[in-house]
Amino acid sequence: MNDLNSIFYHYKQLIALRKKHDVITYGDYELLLADNPHIFAYRRQWNGETLLVISNFYEENVSTQFDLEKGKKANILLSNYPTPVTR
């Protein structure tokens, strides 16, 4: 319980996000990259808010690219890496 990077605390953060962002619960679900065996990605949209979830459940590094709508800015809400990689 002392490790703030533990799975327990990660799930606590996920629950807090779910309570804060209704798009997580009510948003329309759209699977992305269905043919990619290493990346599980989906989008949820609701009331003008978009949530993009990108997960890699494998040990190897993978990369992908998502284009944002013109004029839109992305914020990382949660990551299990000390410094999330963005480009």
Domain with 36 in it: what CATH number? 2.60.40
pLDDT for position 7: 86
Indicate if the pLDDT at residue 73 is higher than 60: yes
- Span 2-43, pLDDT tens digits: 777 788 988 999 999 999 999 999 999 999 999 999 999 999
Confidence of residue 86 (pLDDT cuts 50, 70, 90): low
Q: What domain count does the chain have?
A: 1
Question: Are 87 and 61 within 8 A, CB to CB?
Answer: no
- Which residue range(s) make up the domain with 10? 1-87
> pTM value?
0.80
Q: Residues near 32 by Cβ (< 8 Å), separated by ≥ 6?
A: 41, 42, 43, 52, 66
pLDDT for position 33: 93
Q: Residues near 83 by Cβ (< 8 Å), separated by ≥ 6?
A: none
